[in-house]
Amino acid sequence: ETGVTQSPTHLIKTRGQQVTLRCSSQSGHNTVSWYQQALGQGPQFIFQYYREEENGRGNFPPRFSGLQFPNYSSELNVNALELDDSALYLCASSLGQNSGANVLTFGAGSRLTVL
Amino acid sequence: AQSVTQPDIHITVSEGASLELRCNYSYGATPYLFWYVQSPGQGLQLLLKYFSGDTLVQGIKGFEAEFKRSQSSFNLRKPSVHWSDAAEYFCAVGGPTDSWGKLQFGAGTQVVVTP
């Protein structure tokens, strides 16, 4: 069983740039959620994708956007990067749109540093 | 609004001693409760979950947690800690009144294991 894989593992950007982070979900999972984890804090929910549509969003501005592809992989895009966007971005996959959707399998994350 | 409080930011425990991590939650309906562990540079791994039924839940790595509705708590315990248990532990809450895949995490408890 293949777990959740994320790329890149680390990246450095400058303020105002744009970034794309990628995620391959665990085999058999059809739902992807993205979380932001700032240093010393717990993860914060950004949004979830199911059947290629955004299906729930946390308190993040529109410059945070995403995609889900037919193979259930996903991208997180952040435009106009700000210093506060520096964080570990975690992708999590799960199955369905019921209680099972909350049983999240996390990837190791993409560490973004904005200078 | 849903929230999770982990009162202990940092706990030091001797190897072989027992461990208890506290978690208090606020949620407007019957919650789904989770404990995750995060080792340095890694994503989050699910230790155990509670959806309904028996309020004492067994998880992986010898961990257990008890749901106490009257106290709005979901404390994590392990009878005998191993050096490999040193990590950060996160309690999380989700449920049917939120987007599927959306969990509210606490700020985490850092566990240090001494010889």
pLDDT in tens, A26-77: 988 999 999 999 998 999 999 999 889 998 899 999 999 999 999 999 999 9
How do residues A8-34 score in pLDDT, each as one tens digit?
Answer: 999 999 999 999 999 999 988 999 999
Could you tell me where the beta strands, DSSP code E, fall in chain B? 3-5, 10-14, 19-21, 24-26, 32-38, 44-50, 56-58, 64-68, 73-78, 87-94, 104-105, 109-114
Chain A residues whose C-beta sits inside 8 Å of any chain B C-beta: 4, 31, 33, 40-45, 48, 50, 55-58, 90, 92, 94, 96-99, 101-109
DSSP letter (8 states) at residue B40: T
**Chain B residue nearest residue A40, CA to CA:** B107
- CB atoms closer than 10 angstroms to residue B110: 15
Rounded to the nearest angstrom, the minimum Cα separation between A67 and chain B is 16
Q: For residue A101, list chain B residues with Cβ-Cβ distance below 8 A.
A: 100-101
Q: Does B110 touch chain A (CB under 8 A)?
A: no
Q: Does B45 touch chain A (CB under 8 A)?
A: yes
- In degrees, rounded to 5, the angle at the alpha carbon of residue B109 between the alpha carbons of residues B30 and B41 is 110
Confidence of residue A1 (pLDDT cuts 50, 70, 90): low
Residues of chain B with pLDDT under 70: none
